[in-house]
C-alpha cells in the first residue's frame, strides 16, 4: 500500500500562487502515474495534472499555462505549482497515484479513478 499526504493549500487572492506538495510513503513499485485532481462542492472531479515514471506530464485544460506538476528525484514527493490563480480554481485538491508492478506503466485513466489518494487540501481563491 501507499500513503499520500497533501499539504500547501490555503487561501489566496486572485492572481496569487500556491504550491501543493504530496508526500508518498509505503510500498515501492516499478512504475507509476501520479497526479492531482480537484473537486468543488456540487461539481464532478476534474483532472488537473499528471506525471509518470519517465517524466511525461499532462494537464487539464484549466491548468494549462498556469500550473506546473513536478516530482523530486526520489519520486517520493509530487508538487503542483499553481500561478495566476482564479476564483474558479477554488476546490479541494487531491493527490492520487496509480502504481504498477511492471516497468512502463503509464497514465491511462482519469486521475480521480486512481486507486490511491490523499485526504485532500483546500484551496480558496478570492
pLDDT digits (tens, 9 = 90+) for 40-76: 999 999 999 999 999 999 999 999 999 999 998 787 8
Closest by CA to 47, choosing from 33, 37, 56, 35, is 37
Mean pLDDT of 73-90: 94
Q: Enumerate the β-bridge partners of residue 37.
A: 47, 94
Q: Which pLDDT belongs to residue 104?
A: 87
pLDDT at 102: 87
| Percent of the residues in the chain that have a pLDDT greater than 70, as a whole number | 100
Residue 24 contacts residue 3 (beta carbons within 8 Å): yes
pLDDT at 35 over 90: yes
Give the separation between CA 44 and CA 59, rounded to whole angstroms.
Answer: 17
Cβ-count burial of 21 within 10 angstroms (0-12 exposed, 13-18 middle, 19+ buried)? middle
pLDDT of 28 reads 84
Q: How far is CA 10 from CA 17, 36, 94, 121, in A?
A: 10, 16, 14, 8
Amino acid at each position: 500500500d501507499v500513503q499520500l499526504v497533501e499539504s500547501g493549500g490555503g487561501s489566496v487572492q486572485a492572481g496569487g500562487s500556491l504550491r501543493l506538495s504530496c508526500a508518498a510513503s509505503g510500498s515501492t513499485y516499478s512504475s507509476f502515474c501520479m497526479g492531482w485532481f480537484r473537486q468543488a462542492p456540487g461539481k464532478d472531479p476534474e483532472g488537473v495534472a499528471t506525471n509518470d515514471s519517465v517524466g511525461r506530464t499532462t494537464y487539464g485544460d484549466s491548468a494549462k499555462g498556469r500550473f506546473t506538476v513536478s516530482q523530486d528525484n526520489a519520486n517520493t514527493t509530487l508538487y503542483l505549482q499553481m500561478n495566476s490563480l482564479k476564483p474558479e480554481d477554488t476546490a479541494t485538491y487531491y493527490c492520487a497515484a496509480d502504481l504498477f508492478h511492471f516497468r512502463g506503466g503509464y497514465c491511462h485513466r482519469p486521475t480521480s479513478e486512481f486507486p490511491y489518494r490523499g485526504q485532500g487540501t483546500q484551496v480558496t481563491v478570492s
